[in-house]
Amino acid sequence: MRDGPLDMRMDPTQGQSVADFLARASEADIAYVFKTYGEERYAKRLARAVVTRRVEKPFTHTVDLAEVLKVAHPAWEKGRHPATKAFQGLRIFVNSELEQLDSALEAALEALAPGGHLVVISFHSLEDRRVKRFIRHHVRGDTDLPRGVPIRDDQLNRRLEALGKGMRPSDDEVDANPRARSAVMRAARKRM
Q: Is 148 exposed, middle or buried (0-12, 13-18, 19+ CB in 10 A)?
A: exposed
**% of the chain beyond a pLDDT of 70:** 97
Tens digit of pLDDT for each residue in 16-66?
999 999 999 999 999 999 999 999 999 999 999 999 999 999 999 999 999
What are the sequence ranges of the domains in the chain? Answer: 18-95, 97-190
Q: What angle do CA 141, 97, 60 make, to 5 degrees?
A: 165
| 18-95: CATH architecture | Orthogonal Bundle (1.10)
Burial 20-51 (b: 16+ CB within 10 A, else e): bbbeebeeeebbbbbbebbebebbbebbebbb
- DSSP-derived secondary structure letter, 10: S
More confident residue, 13 or 44: 44
pLDDT score of 151: 76
Q: Which of 102, 111, 108, 109 is nearest to 130 (CA)?
A: 102
Residue type for position 43: A
Distance set, CA 8 to CA 61, 146, 180 (Å): 11, 45, 21
What pLDDT sits at residue 150? 76
Under CATH, what is the fold of the domain 97-190? Rossmann fold (3.40.50)
Q: In percent, how much of the chain has pLDDT > 90?
A: 80
Domain 18-95 identical in fold to domain 97-190: no
pLDDT, tens digit, 9 for 90 and up, residues 112-151: 999 999 999 999 999 999 999 999 999 988 767 777 777 7
Mean pLDDT of the chain: 92
pTM: 0.83
